[in-house]
Amino acid sequence: MILPKVEVKKILYATDLSESARHAFAYAVSLANAYGASITILHVLFNVPNVDSIAAFYIGQEEWEKIKQRTLDDARQALIGKKRENVAIQEILTRFSETASAAAESPAAITDEIIIKKGNPEEHILQQAEERNCDLIVMGSHGHGALAEAVIGNTARKVLRRSKIPVLAVPLPRDDNS
């Protein structure tokens, strides 16, 4: 039997900044080092569908708009001051990549791009992988918390089902105490 030659030149690492995604990054770096590939980091700010209509139903549209604006203002002041949107996440991902590269035992993988998008994670992951001609998608298989667990686990399943390229969905290591 003749096996096809596997070439991995570009890896899309999708992260939700969870522990599972952090664990998956070790695999992305290891594979990038083994194949001499570059890594593109993607973080998608997830929009919860129907949250506006649900919140408005319970507390009224005007009150919901005030809460959203107050939360946005507080987050902007706490995280990014007067800088442009998503700068804090961009800095977190850059430092994360630099720290992981410095801690790597072998030559560090090259992170060629950090992308932050808003919307449906599944759609953005598949779109970015195609647009950037990625050979592999690496992502955690579980989020953090009950909602994130359902959303991220569901995202990983959808990406696995729809992707035209290989997907490595990395679970957290099993706790021996369970």
Give every CB contact of residue 89 below 8 A, 6+ residues apart in sequence.
Answer: 17, 43, 45, 116
**Which comes out higher in pLDDT, residue 72 or 38?**
38
Q: Please count the CA atoms within 13 angstroms of the CA of 139 that sit on its side-chain side.
A: 29
The label of the residue with tokens 């083994």 reads 34
pLDDT category of residue 94 using cuts at 50, 70 and 90: confident
Do the Cβ atoms of 136 and 165 come closer than 8 Å?
A: yes
Residue 161 has pLDDT above 70, yes or no: yes
pLDDT of residue 103: 57
Q: Left (φ > 0), alpha (ψ -120 to 50) or beta: where does 86 sit?
A: left
Residue 67 has pLDDT above 60, yes or no: yes
Whole-structure pTM value: 0.70
